[in-house]
Amino acid sequence: MAQAAPRGDPGGRSAGTTPPPLDVDRLIDDRRNRIIVCCGSGGVGKTTIAAAIGLRAAERGRHVVVLTVDPAKRLAQSMGLTSLDNTPRPVHGLSSAGAGDANPGGSLHAMMLDMKRTFDEIVEAHAEPGRAAQILDNPFYQSLSSSFAGTQEYMAMEKLGQLRRAEEWDLIVVDTPPSRSALDFLDAPQRLARFLDGRLLRLLTAPAKFGGRAGLRMLNAGFGMVTGVLTKVLGGQMLRDVQTFVSALDTMFGGFRERADYTYKLLRAPGTAFLVVASPETDALREASYFVERLDTERMPLAGLIVNRVHRSPAAHLSAARSLAAAETLHAAAAANPGTWSDPSTEPDSDYALAIAALRLHADRMQQAAEERRQAEHFTAAHPLVPVTEVPAQPDDVHDLTGLRAIGDFFGKPE
Amino acid sequence: MGTRDTDWEGVRLHVVTGKGGTGKTTVAGALALALASGGKKVLLMEVEGRQGIAQLFDVPPLPYAERKIAVAPTSLAEHPGDVFALVADPESALIEYLEMFYSMKLAGAALTRLGVFDFATTIAPGLRDVLLTGKAAEAVRRKGGGGRAYDAVVMDAPPTGRIGRFLNVSTEISGLAKVGPIRGHADTVQNVIRSPQTVVHFVTLLEEMPVQETLDGIAELRALGGIRAGAIMINMTRSLPLPASQLQAAADGQLDPDLIAVGLKAAGLDDSGQLAAELAAELAGQAKTTLGQQEQRDRLAEAGQPCYDLPWISDGMDLAGLYRLAAALRTQGAA
């Protein structure tokens, strides 16, 4: 599909704050980069962007695995797979057309995170069969592994660690869970680990073990109140389930916090790059801002921002106001000579009907483009050094590799 | 009051869900305004701690307290109505719950410091949800001023992917807490949620993924049994006023740019040939989108729920836009 607008001039960008351009190709061509994390709030097209980046990197010669957490069947289908599951599956039909001067010969695998399966596998890998079965059957474990709000994030990070250790791929593209807040996937694993390794959990479930320690005696007064509240709120049965779970877990392996720390370190290590994805809307860009600030605090490497689904016009030189005025002129001319036009809610049936529709649409587009640009400029005003690139809105949904490739093409260098 | 026919007579708790990015909070806000018009009192409730309502109504961040944030649109024939807002967080709801049921005047800060709250909600993931839905149920049932405290409660709920679990609290909790006070509380909440007083509205865009999630969400509620699906709110719709034949031609890239050029010339625009080609390309893209949207609309129709259109607000979403959406909902019988 030919894109008429020159790439440096997306819908008539005015001279305002111009961010440095984000060069995605340079990012994926640099073989020192081993992990790309795509993050952003829900509904911004993060999963599609992750898949498009994975495909482009593979077609430019990398050996890529895309780890997605989005259960959308469509994405699997667009990669020629009937479904995605917890094991990386090869994607066929790569071409080297987008490779430019890079060496082709790459490969692409894709998988979808199954959080319960991943959790079960950790248990099975670290406990002897009897113990493992005991843990897997525990009602508290079942609830924790399938519905605790942080489990998906924890397991996504766990899976990332596993893929990295496997050394089968030279680039891992991760799509983060679709939470409302883009920060969840950084915080949730720590929260789960803190909980599972936490002192309160151990105190409550094995108070006898700690009873003699002087340092903890001070807690005793408050402790009575705490257990009282918990028993009232949760009931005794639940506390017993938790106790069984924890004692089974204890003998198993060296702690969840260490595992969470490992992946956290991985995210900070050289070779990892974060791409923040947002749509050109207030909420999504606000989340993107939070995220950029957080990455900075954590000293995690931010590659840049991808503004997805941007509306551009091939006729950016015609302003919304002029376009609308022209439509009104034609409308008045047509109305003066009504012909068969009887329903005022429809456009007059005249030679100008098509032009009126086109001009109105154009005015609407230009208004939208201006609003989107305003939002993006807000972001850049706050984060002038963050490189930005834009991906135009596609007229229809992505259905196949060709569609993914078309998105990837926008990452090509402007020149 | 009660002179207008609306699709949701007798409904007092409107749960609004939707996939991320569909404008769930905006639609919840518009619905609250629409329901409040005609002198009603409506509570708009947020449960995810994002302060989305405050941003939407352009007011400072809201506390865990019910505050009046807007006056509903009104005509000469009607009394104005009031929209109150509440940002419910599970921690405050738990403290309130303990005080209400056990007269436990607890120092909330002490519980927080000891990590009791995190601990309790982590052990029982459903606890968080039952506290939030419990707060909504309480507001629905509350009496005040000789009648009900609120005519309706609108909840800006978690996204579609989590809505079944969020509302099915009783079952989620019972897996863990077989007996005990929280179980009893959950059952009370369920009685409200599974009554005809409660419906779940789905906000969607006319795109494949949000539509799929909407259909899945409705199917999930039906499978749970007893939780009623409400309307499908189609957000950000735009019309492309072209006859069907031209729409198809435009989508196929078969439109003759000369047909546009004639008009451009008549309107006195320069270089009408070149411009016509550019506008034809723009029209082609939009026509493709529109045809795809019609397909999605047909899919939604199969769900058999009422559908409302909320128009695209092209000049940025603000309070004025919100009132326009509220009016659109009223016109279509949503309130």
CB B189 within 8 A of CB B3: no
Report the alpha-carbon distance of residue A123 to residue B282 in Å, rounded: 55
Q: Pick the residue from chain A with its C-alpha nearest to B314.
A: A368
Regions of chain A with pLDDT less than 70:
1-16, 71-72, 96-103, 147-149, 178-182, 196-226, 250-256, 338-350, 413-415
Tokens of B272: 């009408």
Residue B330, C-beta contacts closer than 8 angstroms, at least 6 positions apart? B34, B37
Question: How many CB atoms are located within 10 Å of the residue B104 CB?
Answer: 14
Burial of A332 (0-12, 13-18, 19+ CB in 10 A): exposed
Contact A198 B115 (CB under 8 A): yes
For A237, the closest of B161, B178, B268 (CB atoms) is B178
Grouping H, G, I as helix, E, B as strand and the rest as coil, residue B77 is coil
What is the pairing mode between strands B143-144 and B152-156? unpaired
Please list every residue in chain A whose beta carbon sits closer than 8 Å to the beta carbon of residue B208.
74, 397
Contact B120 A230 (CB under 8 A): yes
Counting Cα atoms < 13 Å in the Cβ hemisphere of B143 gives: 2
Contact A365 B282 (CB under 8 A): yes
Report the alpha-carbon distance of residue A276 to residue A288 in Å, rounded: 6
Question: pLDDT tens-digit profile of A90-137?
Answer: 999 998 655 555 457 899 999 998 889 999 998 888 888 888 898 898
Contact B98 A347 (CB under 8 A): no
Report the alpha-carbon distance of residue A281 to residue B21 in Å, rounded: 9
CB A398 within 8 A of CB A315: no
For A279, the closest of B21, B158, B282 (CB atoms) is B21
Q: CB distance from B122 to chain A under 8 Å? A: yes
pLDDT value, residue A3: 39
CB A140 within 8 A of CB A170: no
- 0.95 surpassed by pTM: no
Dihedrals φ, ψ of B114, to 5°?
Answer: -75, -5
B14-38 as b/e: b if 16+ CB within 10 A: bbbbbbbbbbbbbbbbbbbbbbbbb
Closest approach of chain B CAs to the CA of A369, in angstroms? Answer: 9
Contact A72 B209 (CB under 8 A): yes
Report the alpha-carbon distance of residue A164 to residue A401 in Å, rounded: 25
What does the DSSP assignment read for B296-333?
HHHHHHTT-S-EEEEE--TT---HHHHHHHHHHHHHTT
pLDDT value, residue B67: 94
Please list every residue in chain A whose beta carbon sits closer than 8 Å to the beta carbon of residue B280.
358
Regions of chain B with pLDDT less than 50:
1-2
Interface of B with A in 274-313 (CB under 8 A): 275-276, 278-286, 288-289, 292
Contact A357 B111 (CB under 8 A): no
* Helix boundaries (H) for B49-178: 52-57, 90-102, 108-113, 116-123, 125-141, 160-167, 169-174
What is the pairing mode between strands B13-18 and B152-156? parallel
Please list every residue in chain A whose beta carbon sits closer than 8 Å to the beta carbon of residue B55.
282-283
Please list every residue in chain A whose beta carbon sits closer than 8 Å to the beta carbon of residue B56.
none
CATH 3.40.50.300 fits A24-205+251-314+376-411, yes or no: yes
Report the alpha-carbon distance of residue B39 to residue B151 in Å, rounded: 10
Question: pLDDT tens-digit profile of B172-228?
Answer: 666 555 666 677 788 888 999 999 999 999 999 999 889 999 999 999 999 998 999
pLDDT value, residue B130: 87
pLDDT value, residue A181: 62
Report the alpha-carbon distance of residue A354 to residue A103 in Å, rounded: 48
pLDDT value, residue A51: 94
Q: Pick the residue from chain B with its C-alpha nearest to A330.
A: B267
Please list every residue in chain A whose beta carbon sits closer than 8 Å to the beta carbon of residue B268.
326, 329
Tokens of B220: 């999930």
Tokens of B27: 């639609």
Distances, alpha carbon B180 to alpha carbons A101, A301, B101, B186, B291, in Å = 68, 48, 13, 10, 54
The letter for the amino acid at A41 is S
Please list every residue in chain A whose beta carbon sits closer than 8 Å to the beta carbon of residue B254.
none
Go through the domains of chain B in sequence order and give each one's CATH number: 13-238+312-331 (3.40.50.300), 244-287 (no CATH)
Q: CB distance from B157 to chain A under 8 Å? A: no
What is the pairing mode between strands A107-112 and B143-144? unpaired
Residue A242, C-beta contacts closer than 8 angstroms, at least 6 positions apart? A140, A201, A204, A205, B123
Grouping H, G, I as helix, E, B as strand and the rest as coil, residue B40 is coil
pLDDT value, residue A277: 95
User: In this complex, how many residue pairs, one in chain A and one in chain B, have their CB atoms less than 8 Å apart?
Assistant: 222
Provide the greatest CA pair distance for chain B: 79
Q: Pick the residue from chain A with its C-alpha nearest to B173.
A: A234
For A357, the closest of B98, B240, B278 (CB atoms) is B240
pLDDT value, residue A182: 61
Nearest 5°: the CA angle B333, B73, B47 is 80
Q: Which single residue is written with the structure tokens 């890998």? A: A125
Grouping H, G, I as helix, E, B as strand and the rest as coil, residue B42 is strand
Report the alpha-carbon distance of residue B165 to residue B149 in Å, rounded: 28
Q: Which helix (H) or strand (E) holds A334?
A: helix A320-336
Report the alpha-carbon distance of residue A54 to residue A65 in Å, rounded: 7
Contact A234 B177 (CB under 8 A): yes
Q: CB distance from B171 to chain A under 8 Å? A: no
Report the alpha-carbon distance of residue A142 to residue A245 in Å, rounded: 10
What is the pairing mode between strands A302-310 and A388-392? parallel
Interface of B with A in 45-84 (CB under 8 A): 48, 50, 52, 55
Grouping H, G, I as helix, E, B as strand and the rest as coil, residue B56 is helix
Tokens of B207: 């795109």
CB B29 within 8 A of CB B72: no
Domain with CATH 3.40.50.300 in chain A: 24-205+251-314+376-411
Please report how the helices B257-266 and A353-382 are oriented relative to each other, as an axis angle in degrees rounded to 10: 90
Residue A165, C-beta contacts closer than 8 angstroms, at least 6 positions apart? none
Q: CB distance from B184 to chain A under 8 Å? A: no
Tokens of A55: 């495909």
Report CA Rg, chain B.
23
Nearest 5°: the CA angle A46, A194, A122 is 70
Grouping H, G, I as helix, E, B as strand and the rest as coil, residue A385 is coil
Burial of A224 (0-12, 13-18, 19+ CB in 10 A): exposed
CB A169 within 8 A of CB A65: yes
